[in-house]
Structure 1
């Protein structure tokens, strides 16, 4: 991924970079969800189904 190619990632220069990422996600996830217009769970779903879900849900959002 992009973090593997980018050497300028001080937060990932730790003894356990995977734990650092998990900790960051745990901290940031509630904030991301709070400001999101929608949240799409993608676990074990084919990409086509995820796209159809996103399109359907975007159409249901009120106009801005």
Structure 2
């Protein structure tokens, strides 16, 4: 997910994406713990996407207050 794609979304869309990514992150952690995780790079990718979305949401919140 690119930062430009994230910035183009509305806050509601970002919150939905964030919720989905957090569920995926939980499932990936569960798969890793049980030894079923095949794509280990996906864990890092999901973590970075979550951080990217949280950063954009914070930027949007700060610009709304200003």
**Which one has a bigger Cα radius of gyration?**
1
How high is the TM-score relative to the length of structure 1? Answer: 0.29
Q: Which has the higher contact order (CA 8 A, sep 6+)?
A: 2
What's the TM-score, normalizing by structure 2?
Answer: 0.28
